[in-house]
């Protein structure tokens, strides 16, 4: 299963970074390029344990819907969101936060599996992993910018 690990260092307190990473509104702002919006479940504010959100976005010219649920949350160091309905066979995203000196290290561990057997596996290898990495990097840039204001 493909895994993306991305570390982002932010000059802001851990609690601020943690809350910005859970912000539905900031997520929507960071995903403007795909027109992503929250259409069901928790649609604004900070998502929390056992809450879910259904996203709608256009990727590769196709409109997708995906519902993610926060399955684990330990404030302000750790939360997991998992796809419970949507286009992937599996999607599991760990968000880890650690204070290092006066900065916060935010680590994303993003595991996913495409559907469609060998065709999905080929898509993962050829373009999907790079595409998803760029989305996470963009999201983290927005979190970092907002946190450091």
pLDDT at 100: 97
pLDDT at 61: 92
Every domain of the chain and the residues it spans? 3-147
Question: Predicted confidence band at 14 (pLDDT cuts at 50, 70, 90)?
Answer: very high
Helix (H, G, I), strand (E, B) or coil at 128: helix
At 56-93, the pLDDT tens digits run 999 999 999 999 999 999 999 999 999 999 999 999 99
Superfamily of domain 3-147: START domain (3.30.530.20)
Question: Predicted confidence band at 26 (pLDDT cuts at 50, 70, 90)?
Answer: very high
Q: From CA 68, how far away is CA 94, in angstroms rounded?
A: 12
What are the residue ranges of helices labelled H in the chain? 14-21, 24-30, 117-123, 129-147
Give the Cα-Cα-Cα angle 62, 60, 123 (nearest 5 degrees).
110
At 39-61, the pLDDT tens digits run 999 999 999 999 999 999 999 99
Question: Predicted confidence band at 8 (pLDDT cuts at 50, 70, 90)?
Answer: very high
Contact call for residues 65 and 39 (beta carbons, < 8 A): yes
Q: From CA 120, how far away is CA 115, in angstroms rounded?
A: 5
Mean pLDDT to the nearest integer, 95-111: 98
pLDDT at 68: 98
Contact call for residues 42 and 52 (beta carbons, < 8 A): yes
pLDDT at 50: 98
């Amino acid at each position: 299963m493909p895994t993306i690990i991305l570390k982002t260092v932010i000059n802001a307190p851990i609690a601020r970074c943690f809350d910005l990473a859970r912000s539905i509104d900031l997520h929507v702002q960071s995903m403007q390029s795909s027109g992503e919006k929250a259409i069901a479940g928790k649609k604004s504010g900070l998502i929390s344990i056992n809450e879910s959100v259904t996203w709608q976005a256009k990727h590769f010219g196709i409109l997708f819907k995906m519902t993610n649920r926060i399955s684990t949350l330990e404030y302000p160091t750790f939360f997991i969101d998992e796809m419970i309905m949507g286009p992937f066979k599996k999607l599991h995203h760990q968000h880890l936060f650690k204070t290092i000196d006066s900065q916060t290290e935010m680590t994303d561990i993003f595991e996913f599996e495409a559907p469609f057997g060998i065709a999905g596996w080929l898509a993962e290898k050829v373009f999907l992993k790079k595409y998803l990495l760029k989305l996470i990097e963009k999201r983290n840039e927005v979190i970092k910018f907002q946190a450091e204001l």
